[in-house]
Amino acid sequence: MQNRDTVESKPLRLRWYDFDIKQFFTAGIGFYNGTYGDYTLKLNLGRGKVYLRAVSFEENQTHFRVEEVKQENGKVIKEMVGSGYMDESTNGSIHIKLGGCSDILILG
Lowest mean pLDDT among 6-15, 32-41, 60-69, 91-100: 6-15
Dist CA 37 CA 21 (whole Å): 34
Beta strand ranges found along the chain (DSSP E): 12-18, 23-33, 38-43, 49-58, 61-72, 75-86, 94-98, 104-107
Rounded to whole angstroms, the Cα distance separating 87 from 22 reads 21
Q: What is the DSSP string of 65-90?
A: EEEEEEEETTEEEEEEEEEEEESGGG
Mean pLDDT across the stretch 76-104?
Answer: 89
Q: Does residue 21 contact residue 10 with C-beta atoms inside 8 Å? A: no
Q: Which amino acid is at 1?
A: M
Please say if the pLDDT value at position 4 is more than 60.
no
Q: Which residues does 42 contact at the CB level (< 8 Å), separation at least 6?
A: 14, 28, 29, 30, 31, 50
Mean pLDDT of all residues belonging to the chain: 86
pLDDT in tens, 11-55: 999 999 988 899 999 998 999 998 888 999 988 877 667 899 999
* Alpha helices in the chain, H assignment, sequence order: none
Q: Is residue 100's pLDDT more than 50?
A: yes
